[in-house]
Chain A
Amino acid sequence: MLTPITQNEWSRRHANHLLQRAGFGGTPEERTALYELGRDQGIGAAVASLVDDLEDWSSLPFPSWSTEQDPNGDLWDGSSERRRSFVNWYMNLLIEGKPLAAKLFKFLVDHLPIDMGTIPGEARFAYFLRFYDLLRKHAGGSGEFGNFRTLINSVSWSEAMIRMLDLQESSANKINENFGRELLELFTLGVDGGYTEDDVGAAAEAFTGRRLYRIQSPHPDAGTVNSKYLAPEGVPAGSAYQDESKQDLLPKSFLGFDRMPGGGSIVTGDHIIELIFADIQTAKHLSWKLWRYFVSPNPSEALQQEMALRLRNNYDYELRPLMKDIFLSQEFYASEVMGDQIKDASDYYVGMLKQLEIPLPGDRSTYTINERLGYNPIYPPNIAGWPEPNADGNEWMAAGSLLTRLNLSSVWVERNFYALNDWGMKQDLEDYPDIDWERILPREMRSPDMFPLLIEKLMDRFLPLCPLRKSQIRRLHDHYRRTSERMDTLEATKELVRLLMALPEYQMQ
């Protein structure tokens, strides 16, 4: 299990696969560089170049509207513009962040989802920015960040999650079990993770009394907050605190334990989290999720067990050492794994922009595109978050979203800015830069006589893991020859790219 592959197995395909899964893919040059690094300095060096490349996000600040304002939270949600801007900010982090940091960030956003509708207007963006900042730092792995247990503990104190899962309304005498249940089921032990309804109840009791200070927004629609509910001097507006008068301080039983390993009673949320993470099931569930997200849908029981033991016993829930083991393993590079994952919406969208070497478009366009692809990160489908890739009936392949994918290449390649039937998007894209076609396919390679070389080059850029079939190549060759006579070779090249990026094979990574 998790045996590293040998040096002589390393190939361009391996490098393509690694960069695609540990990040969002890249240009032919980036993939070649990774391949050569692995070839010349060893596979370990190639994997390390991704896993040890930590990210503190300092070069990617918060959106301008959030920093121009008082950091104590004049972030009133007055219009949909800011929501769009927020989503674009997030998508830009996925594009600009270091590959693994960006991919892990998306993993965390997808699995610890917050629904913007559950957070009131005056706190919405303050809470979202703080929460996403927490997640991106843990994904980046810099400094004290990168540990899953620490992350979950911080999440249990995060304003956004406290608010969304009703923790601020849960008191010793009036329990709201929403957070307690999801903590066990979704964030740690997993469905059927060996806990009982009584354990849900005990967890709910232990987390009682967490409260949020209110935020006084200067916005005229925000109303006035009594100053006794505001955070004291020096404490961030709206932040979380423990109200002990509302806390259940009785000893509890949890997961079959009546006492903590050290002998004390089980009382607080911190105790609950400690016991959850001592349970191998938590490591197993997280390993299962990571494998499904980064590798393939059905990790064997033995593989899960092996990952779980390493994650808990060897790495104490540090994420990156486990990622390194995964990215070096034979299982990760199995032939039935490489190129056999269906891209989710942002794999598809971010990857597409990287391949075409074009920037993220404006807020309006990205918001519309995300929605049509079925991925609006601020409105998750449910508290379980976004679906993982899976082969037998992938939820990302709903016919309407799929047609959006097919049409998006027309937007970029043909500058068909009305392809999604959205007038705002068309206006948004008026000044959008054109694709550098010289980079995609230099003029001297566009001759129909050079078709074999030409299609090879395009496949390398757009279909590095899932090449065309012979019948497709023949048909495209025929078409290319005729189109370049009738129109010109640039138009013919554009048609090829427009079609390649709509093929079923293009949906694979």
Chain B
Amino acid sequence: MIDVSRRDFIKKSAWGAATSLTLPAFLHQTLFQLDARAQSLPPQGGEGPILVILELGGGNDTLNTVIPYTNSTYLGARPTIGLSTEHGVLQIGQGQSVTGASEQLALHPNLANLHQLWQEGDLAIVNGVGYPNPNLSHFTSFDYWHSAQPNTEAKDGWIGRYFSNQCSGCDATQAIELATRSTSAFKAPEGASPSVSFRDPEQYGWRDLELVGRDIPLESLYRELIGLDHRVDDGIDLSSEALSFVQRSTHNAMISARNVREASETGGEMLVEDWPNNGLGRDMNRIARLIKGGMNTSIYYVHQNGYDTHNNQSGGNPLSGRHFDLLNTLNGALGAFVQEMKLSGFWDRMLILTFSEFGRKVIENGSRGTDHGAAESLFVMGGAVNGGQFYGKYPDLAEDARVKRDSMDYNIDFRTIYRSVLENWMQTPASAMADIFPNQPAEFNPIAFV
């Protein structure tokens, strides 16, 4: 996950060697050292893999995304919102069903860019993803996806544990999330994880009026006061978990601000001209700029919200309404981003994973919408992806629709997806999985989508 020179650097440094056997080194370093390294090793834009996680908040109705458009249970359960050939669904062939038969599947008509990726072999679809005892609360189910510890009250996140295990000593921008509040997936087992969350790189930095008469810039004085450039006082008060967390977070923010803004400015020129001007479009554009600007970030985390379509999922006809619009936005933003990455030579280093906290029920409700369900389909995209094929099995709709309150059953545990991404894409050794995934599903072998 980190390039060789960086790894060497960490090994050779005295503090790295001294601490690697005990606590995560990130906790032990003085921030002076950390900051010095962040500045002495400029962002390389390296050759390492990049993971972009796109979280679809609210519970995406994947039955209307990866559509079993000839399935009679599906069509019967969704008389007003169902989609079939007459709506121009984009056919992608047959997927295996848990029944043993095969399911004719198609993408939503608004997903033309994803359809093209599928045809090019750069999009894989994983069907039937979920976890045991599905929780239908947005809140809890997201917690489970973030912690990768379903049915427990976890204290940390899977990405936080991954960093603590594999990237001790990494600087603060190993992961970047575009958000005003941090995802709990980043939560480290102890201390602050090497990640930052912000909305807009251009507003990310210390600001002051430059007054005549100051002997040093206030920013420099401030850095000393918080222990960044102070020789003795590292500014971390270990007697309070909360205060030390804020102190570390402040360090992270100050350390990363310079690099982020520089990268964002350097990477500013876009090769794709018609980027969509909406929330997700702007966010994907920001990520593209940071990547092109040479950030050494290995994980980007971005959100598209609004998938909680209890009502008006479809408008008067199924080719309108909230879900229709959301997928249109998704398709446009991903289309521009993928194109930009291809044109600038990053596509083969890129893996994009989409997920939602859960899928939705088979039977539509009384409001041209759907209620919370369980299993869902995931997209995995990238130049190195073994795409154009399905992984996992499509749920048995007839069986699931008979169950009271009709949720779909999973056959691929989402932790397997995470593991596959870490092991097959981020080159994390299999031996690390026990620490990163303290509770594991019975079936936990990596899937070969990459």
Contact = CB atoms under 8 A, between A and B. Distances in A.
Interface of A: 165-166, 169-171, 173-178, 181, 185-186, 191-192, 197-198, 200-201, 336, 340-342, 371-374, 381-384, 387, 391-404, 406-407, 410, 414, 416, 419-421, 466, 469, 471-472, 475-476, 479, 482-483, 486-487, 491, 495, 498-499, 502-505, 507-508
Given A393-B188, A400-B198, A191 B140 contact: yes
A201 B365 CA distance: 13
B204 A341 contact: no
A475 B182 contact: no
Contact of B367 (A169, A197, A476): A169
Given A383-B138, A479-B221, 5 more contacts: A174-B367, A342-B242, A403-B204, A475-B224, A487-B211
Mostly, the B contact residues are loop
B240 A382 contact: no
B139 A382 contact: yes
A166 B225 contact: no
A502 B222 contact: yes
Contacts of A483: 213-215
B405 A197 contact: yes
A473 to B, nearest CB: 10
A-B pairs with lowest CB-CB distance, top 9: A174-B366, A400-B198, A374-B180, A399-B196, A398-B197, A169-B367, A393-B187, A399-B253, A391-B242
A305 B418 CA distance: 39
Given A169-B311, A181-B136, A414 B209 contact: yes
6 contacts: A170-B367, A201-B405, A398-B196, A399-B252, A414-B209, A508-B242
B371 A398 contact: no
B179 A398 contact: yes
A340 B243 CA distance: 7
Contacts of A198: 404
Interface of B: 57-58, 136-140, 155-156, 160, 172, 177, 179-182, 184, 186-188, 192-193, 196-200, 202-209, 211, 213-215, 218, 221-222, 224-226, 230, 232-233, 235, 237, 240-243, 245-247, 249-250, 252-253, 256-257, 308, 310-311, 365-367, 369, 371-372, 404-405
Given A382-B57, A508-B242, A372 B203 contact: yes
A398 B198 contact: yes
A407 B206 contact: yes
A398 B213 contact: no
A420 B205 CA distance: 10
Nearest to A178: B310
Contact of B184 (A169, A393, A406, A471): A393
Contacts of A382: 57-58, 138-139
Contact of B207 (A197, A407, A479): A407
A341 B247 CA distance: 13
A197 B242 CA distance: 37
A373 B192 CA distance: 19
B176 to A, nearest CB: 9
Given A398-B180, A399-B198, A401-B181, A384 B138 contact: yes
A401 B177 CA distance: 12
Contacts of B367: 166, 169-170, 174, 176
Contact of B245 (A336, A393, A482, A487): A393
B170 to A, nearest CB: 15
Contacts of B138: 382-384
Contacts, number: 214
B114 to A, nearest CB: 26
A406 B208 contact: no
A469 B208 contact: no
Given A387-B181, A410-B207, A486-B213, A191 B250 contact: no
B256 A399 contact: yes
Nearest to A389: B242
Contact of B366 (A175, A181, A201, A421): A175
A508 B246 contact: yes
Nearest to B249: A397
Contacts of A403: 198, 203-206, 253, 257
Contact of A176 (B200, B202, B371): B371
Nearest to A408: B207
Nearest to A382: B138
Contacts of B179: 398
Contacts of B246: 342, 394, 397, 504, 507-508
Residue among B177, B241, B257, B371 with the highest chain A CB neighbour number at 10 A: B371
A401 B226 CA distance: 18
B137 A185 contact: yes
B241 to A, nearest CB: 5
A507 B246 CA distance: 8
Contacts of B365: 169, 174-177
A469 B237 CA distance: 10
A392 B203 contact: no
B187 A392 contact: yes
Contact of B182 (A186, A197, A391, A398): A398
B371 A177 contact: yes
B226 to A, nearest CB: 6
A171 B366 CA distance: 8
A466 B310 contact: no
Contacts of B252: 399
B182 A393 contact: yes
A246 B264 CA distance: 55
Nearest to A404: B203
B245 A394 contact: yes
Nearest to A415: B209
A140 to B, nearest CB: 29
B388 to A, nearest CB: 35
Contacts of A504: 226, 235, 243, 246-247, 249-250
A342 to B, nearest CB: 5
